[in-house]
Structure 1
């Protein structure tokens, strides 16, 4: 056979050579988190290459290690990655989220940031009233003068959302969608029409899918974009019953309440008059949002409003995520979910939004996106835990939450406990093995004892050491310079998150 000819051997061996653009720094450049020692090695090895972007995240305090230069832990801003943050209220998870955003968007003494990223934050809070509410904590990044923060809110809350007025460099606008922002996929998601539902999907949604499919074919033949009025006319021509029309009209009404005036389609005179009266009292209703990412700009979608439910918030967040990610740009982007447990649950709308997030994480290397998810409950979506490259666990007291972590995190699994026993039995004391000293059976008591700002870091691809000695593991990646990289693997690192550079808006309010 040809593959066994001697003359083919040399050519075949070339197929196993590293790519020309790969070198000893490739693993470090693509790691989500690295230590001070690794950063020094990277600076020495890649001095003639394009500079990396990174920011100080925390200090390694595993095994009571003192905070110092060598204990510093950095988040790699250059490489797209995803971070899942969980913990009870007051444990420091929102602080950690804000710290990550600072590293990506705000130039400061804590980071090396040559090109600040563009950020998008999703926020929803049911605690809101006409007299005020709680602002998204990420808005306090505006205390840095170089950062531009814009808050997009529901039209039904534009006059009473005064909670951002005391913050500098913050502009508040209505969240308005134009017809150009809609397409077949987004309409399917807004209608929560999922073919995978099968027999569980309501009959009217089958009609919606057929109509959208027919309009899609016409759109392909004639060119142009999605025509919302044509869609509504086609749906009105369908012989739907009153019971079927009610849920359909509810979803369309929600969508139209966020659309600019000239793109709204009203079937009755009363509806048209209501739209005209509402628009005449709104100065910004004619303006659709520009979703083009801008360096150093943070956009906060705050849908906290008595008129917006958590399910509606998820549907609108899904549209905004798609609009933000579809823009072609060489600029890095970061997407953050603040207090996601308040709007992500078991509803169909939440499942659609979760599916979009999972797709974004799977494609993060191709669209240059970093995704941060902050939640009290790790149970909101175990699938997100599976895909996120880094998980930061703050203090919590629920054994149920631990069971979720044990099923989805390498360092918290039963296998990790078995390896701990093996290492202790062999009496090894190699560099990096201190990260395997917490058996899974003891992990819960360690989590409960965490102080505010402390957390456990799970990141298999994090590089915790770059050394030339023999103490690095045999499985570590070795480069041509004689150095060996030590990965965190299925280990756990205890960290202390750094203080904020910008104003901390999440401090607890104590009784005087």
Structure 2
């Protein structure tokens, strides 16, 4: 059956509101008042999720992946899929970064999560994902996984406009000759041989510069033994290395290339290679590919264009390769072509009219031209008004092929038939369901405490309590504390008084202190360095993630 595997995704907002206001007993709802909306896991589909920051799009992506990977009370899943997620964030330091929210699916032991990261960022990622049940591996590409097509994609060769730099013509010639040799010898791609041919080519240094830049990026993700010429004695060593790309049910692989050393263009090139390796595996297990925060790396560059084309090909052939594609982004304008081919569009809250204009020409419901009638304009304004007023976790669902109603009819011969009603050019306002696994998208509230002329530390305790008291009921949030202390008296150098000071930041139940973002100490002259060190060590003992870089020390007169 085409509906053998289903996942509970959301509820119809209008029906839920009606049930809430009418006081109907929810334990015995008639079928026509069932508000649940299910995602058909069996069907090969693609979803485009967009919305402003904090509107709930990452939560929606996680719920879709949860349905595809996990057997739970919210889904009917006999054969879990295997997932691949791409993530890139430029906001990362040498010490710690922001984990991909999808990684919190690892809170359920039935989902095995593996993180593939840049080899230059392994230790940072171990700290970043230290609180999650995930395996951290450096992304390693074996030369046996390289081929002519992937090398051309890495070079961002684009023949659509008929223009290519001279060095790309030379690279194409080298790859063509190597491919002929491989066909005759029934061998595989040899990167060391390719590099040797490049060095012997008649290209000038200026022509080799952009090529060298791309090859350096590739080599940083390859075993060192494969990036130099190898002899027969070392061939076995050179053949070793590379990640395992075999497809396993219930396994989620996150390729997180957040790293100061990797640009968004380089991330796109590597994502494209990983996508190809994942899809080429022969398997009977269904697959799902997801792009998290796609606007951070899907720009107008040639590498992003190559990745877009690969995704378009995957969506077009999803019936043959058994792949579902989910794209989560803030900006719907990143790739109109992807929006055209996606069968489901989930729109969370945004306030940009430009985004609506972009979507208008790619969604049948919002189809618009210069000859708009008055009714059409009113409908468009009404849709935008609904989008702007959406709450966190609410969205508009556009899915022309979605089945919204089945009517039973009996013909003259007494034979019962079923008439299916599809959503078509209409849309639904929905509320995304709660999570089964841990929530990785909790908003972080910044709480700033400023103590002026502290005489007795205990006096400021009610001040802090009054600040955090309104947050008691918002248990789904975490709190980041920004503690700014001004004009500290010298007596605070003692451990007893420092302990009293730290007791101020013990937050009430339900509020979790996840980090101390920054502590600015404006120190008077009498505040000795020894007292400062005592203060720092006590803070560090209480909050192990605190590091010296988070503290700014400045002496005032």
TM-score norm. by structure 1 comes to 0.79
Q: Which residue of 1 aligns with 2:128?
A: 163
Q: Which residue of 1 aligns with 2:390?
A: 450
Alpha-carbon separation, structure 1, partners of 2:350 and 2:241 = 44
Of the three residues 192, 217, 223, the one matched with 1:254 is: 217
Alpha-carbon separation, structure 1, partners of 2:94 and 2:181 = 46
Higher strand share: 2
Of the three residues 3, 6, 9, the one matched with 1:57 is: 9
Is the Cα–Cα contact under 8 Å of residues 438 and 492 in structure 1 kept in the other structure?
A: no
- State the Cα deviation string for residues 389-446 of structure 1 (Å, max 9, x = none): 000000001100000110000111138x989959xxxxxxxxxxxxxx9812321111
Is the Cα–Cα contact under 8 Å of residues 366 and 380 in structure 2 kept in the other structure?
A: yes
SS in 2 for 1:291: coil
- Listed as ranges, the matches of 1:120-159 within 5 Å are 120-159=84-123
Alpha-carbon separation, structure 2, partners of 1:481 and 1:487 = 20
Q: Which has the higher contact order (CA 8 A, sep 6+)?
A: 1
Structure 1 position 481, deviation (Å): 4.0
Of the three residues 260, 263, 288, the one matched with 1:334 is: 288
Query: Does residue 62 of structure 2 align to residue 98 of structure 1?
Result: yes
Q: Which residue of 2 aligns with 1:508?
A: 443
Runs of 4+ aligned residues of structure 1 deviating over 6 Å after TM superposition are: 417-420
Of the three residues 358, 370, 378, the one matched with 2:332 is: 378
Alpha-carbon separation, structure 2, partners of 1:146 and 1:446 = 38
Q: Which residue of 2 aligns with 1:223?
A: 186
Alpha-carbon separation, structure 2, partners of 1:438 and 1:299 = 45
Cα separation, partners in 2 of 1:112 and 1:420, compared to 1, 3 Å = farther
- State the Cα deviation string for residues 254-279 of structure 1 (Å, max 9, x = none): 10110012211279xxxxxxxxxxxx
Structure 1 position 66, deviation (Å): 3.6
Provide the aligned length of Structure 1 versus Structure 2.
Answer: 421
- Listed as ranges, the matches of 1:31-70 within 5 Å are 52-62=4-14, 64-66=17-19, 70=34
Cα separation, partners in 2 of 1:116 and 1:253, compared to 1, 3 Å = same
Cα separation, partners in 2 of 1:329 and 1:137, compared to 1, 3 Å = same
Compute the RMSD of aligned alpha carbons: 2.2
Q: Which residue of 1 aligns with 2:305?
A: 351
Structure 1 position 142, deviation (Å): 0.4
SS in 2 for 1:485: strand
Query: Does residue 255 of structure 2 align to residue 301 of structure 1?
Result: yes
| Range with greater deviation from structure 2 (373-382 or 233-242) | 233-242
Alpha-carbon separation, structure 2, partners of 1:226 and 1:405 = 43
Query: Does residue 495 of structure 2 align to residue 495 of structure 1?
Result: no
Structure with larger Rg? 2
Is the Cα–Cα contact under 8 Å of residues 193 and 209 in structure 1 kept in the other structure?
A: no
Q: Which residue of 2 aligns with 1:83?
A: 47
Cα separation, partners in 2 of 1:106 and 1:300, compared to 1, 3 Å = same
Alpha-carbon separation, structure 1, partners of 2:96 and 2:378 = 45
Structure 1 position 222, deviation (Å): 1.9
Structure 1 position 287, deviation (Å): 3.3
Cα separation, partners in 2 of 1:468 and 1:317, compared to 1, 3 Å = same
Alpha-carbon separation, structure 1, partners of 2:226 and 2:325 = 32
Alpha-carbon separation, structure 2, partners of 1:248 and 1:456 = 45
Q: Which residue of 2 aligns with 1:312?
A: 266
- State the Cα deviation string for residues 2-53 of structure 1 (Å, max 9, x = none): xxxxxxxxxxxxxxxxxxxxxxx7xxx2xxxxxxxxxxxx7xxxxxxxxx11
SS in 1 for 2:262: coil
Is the Cα–Cα contact under 8 Å of residues 142 and 240 in structure 2 kept in the other structure?
A: no
Cα separation, partners in 2 of 1:505 and 1:438, compared to 1, 3 Å = farther
Query: Does residue 351 of structure 2 align to residue 392 of structure 1?
Result: no
Alpha-carbon separation, structure 2, partners of 1:62 and 1:321 = 39
SS in 1 for 2:325: strand
Structure 1 position 314, deviation (Å): 0.2
